[in-house]
Amino acid sequence: MKLQLCGAALMTALSFPVLAGEQPWAKWLMSTVERHPIMQAYQYENSAAKYQAQALTKPIYNPSLDTSMEREGSETNFQIGLSSDIDWWGVREAQSEVGRLQAEQRALAVQIATNDLLAQILNAQIDVQLGQQGYELARMQVEQDLRLLRLTEQQLAAGEVNRTELAMAKSVVAQGMVAENERFSAWLSAQKTLRTLAGEQAADVTINQAFFQAQLQVPAPQQLLALPAVKQARLEWLAATASANQQQTANKPVPNVGFGVGRQAGESLLSVNVSVPIQFRNNFNEVALAARELALASEERLHAQLRDTREAVRNLAEQLQQTRLRFEQWQALHDNEMTEQVDVLQQRYAQGDLSLADYQWQVQQLRDGMQAGLTLQKNYQQTYVAYLHITAGLADVVSSLISSEQ
């Protein structure tokens, strides 16, 4: 199943283009994410995990140097030797596997964090750009309502309307001003969120609308294992299994072997020592069983995550098709001539062809249609971002636009 999401129909008149003189959006976005403090923190953690994985490949036990000397009559007795625990059960290999998987988890965490931050910045940019359009729409409506109020005042002076209609016109202006203030506050709040995520320069860069024209593929069932959430759950299961194996080997008795040379009573001395703990009081079997149960729990979480991701991808794919369809239909139905239509209605009201109530009802229908367009555009664009986020396609789609923006 292919989601066909490209075409001129999606280049809405409500959308902001990339303005001349601005820095290329795609390059700016990828650079901003890469230099973000949280991403730097993830990179340091990833580097630390690599060092830890390397450390776990080194031998576990270092040898001990043992020496002794004593005076017995005219003889000087001494002994020098080495002893060391022996990794008889392969603990080193087991813990190396744990370290390798933990390093993979940290590397995946960097990818997931990149994907998450891209989605957050993109949604914030959508909120800012559509928030600005919503505010400008509300401001234009207040200006229209003020013109209507002045017209009504003139009609009152001419005796063509009563004071009730003037009060209604003033009420419309007041309501419009409240809506304008609310839209302005929402726009400012969205700008604050964007600046917090992407810095002060974020206000100077607008989304390249080509971003919303990529052809998106619905992952095949076998491809779900490569999606971030599933891959993370799978690595957690593998790491838990490796940790259980390590725990089982680490709890086994560790033999110690030593040898020494020296002199005693004038004779040369050679000694070999072997010691093995006897686990007759505690064989630590329950510890190993607990680790094994945790591994089984991780496996079940993997199955659950696979199911959740499959349904989430399917749901977002269907939602994306629906929001795209409705947005395109709205574009076909509205020609963005609301201002002209309101002017025509005001002329008809001034000529007495419309009552104030009829004028307000028809104007409100036009305004509701424009606001619906903004809502449909936001729903479509944020669903598009959500789909690319869950399928880990954001970085690829954004990066693919860098060369075309040069």
Contact by Cβ (8 Å): 402, 23: no
β-partners of residue 67 are: 80
3-state helix, strand, coil in the chain (%, to 5): 70, 10, 20
Enter the DSSP assignment of 101.
H
Q: What is the pLDDT of residue 336?
A: 62
Number of H helices and E strands in the chain, helices first, is 10, 6
Per-position pLDDT tens, the chain of length 406: 344 444 333 333 343 334 434 578 999 999 999 999 999 999 999 999 999 999 999 998 899 998 988 887 778 888 899 999 898 888 899 999 999 999 999 999 999 999 999 999 999 999 999 999 999 999 999 998 998 899 889 988 988 888 998 999 899 999 999 999 999 999 999 999 999 999 988 878 899 999 998 888 888 888 888 999 999 999 999 999 999 998 888 888 899 999 999 888 778 888 899 999 888 888 888 888 999 999 999 999 999 999 999 999 999 999 999 999 999 998 888 766 667 888 888 888 788 888 888 888 888 888 888 889 999 999 999 999 999 999 999 999 999 999 887 7
Instruction: Tell me if the pTM is above 0.75.
Output: yes
Give the C-alpha separation, 4 to 7, whole Å: 9
pLDDT computed for residue 335 by the predictor: 63
Distance, in Å, from the CA atom of 396 to the CA atom of 354, rounded to the nearest integer, reads 55
pLDDT reported for residue 17: 39
Q: Give the domains, in start order, of the chain with CATH numbers.
A: 2-405 (1.20.1600.10)
Give which of 180, 193, 207, 126 is closest to 379, Cα–Cα: 126
**CA-based nearest residue to 1, from 307, 391, 305:** 391
85 is written with which tokens? 């625990």
Residue with tokens 């995550």: 305
How far, in whole angstroms, is CA 233 from its chain's centroid? 16
Contact 56, 98 (CB under 8 A): yes
Q: Which of 284, 260, 232 is nearest to 116 (CA)?
A: 232
Closest CA to 116 of 201, 38, 199: 38
The token pair at 317 is: 């794919």
Taking alpha carbons only, the member of 2, 309, 349 closest to residue 147 is 349
